[in-house]
Amino acid sequence: MKVAIKYCGGCNPDYDRVALVKRIEERLIGKVEFVSAEDENIDLVLAVEGCKTACGDLSAFKDTKIRFITKIEDAEEFLCKEHGVSCKE
């Protein structure tokens, strides 16, 4: 599975988005391939939004599945429920 990360503008983040993405990438080594948002064969866009407003521009991905991360708990759900990564870390 090819996953692209798309950040919001970061105008008022409630958490450290970059650190969270790093943790996600580390926990999914060997399970998914992280690719550029410009890649033409993306299976999923992980929209890392800094708050519940989720105002990042995702119009370029209208035909691609998008998973929103608006808080740390969303990332845990993405990892545990969708990718079977242990949540006991």
Dist. CA 76–CA 83, nearest whole Å: 10
pLDDT 10s digits, 44-72: 999 999 999 999 999 999 999 999 999 99
Which ranges of the chain would DSSP assign to H, the alpha helix? Answer: 17-27, 72-77, 83
Provide the whole-model pTM.
0.88
**Residues near 74 by beta carbon (within 8 Å), at least 6 away in sequence:** 68
| Nearest residue to 13 (alpha-carbon basis) of 62, 70, 83 | 70
CATH number of 2-83: 3.40.50
Quick check: 89 pLDDT over 70? no
Residue spans of the domains in the chain: they are 2-83
Give the chain's mean pLDDT: 91
- CA distances from residue 30 to 47, 60, 70 in whole angstroms, order as listed: 21, 27, 25
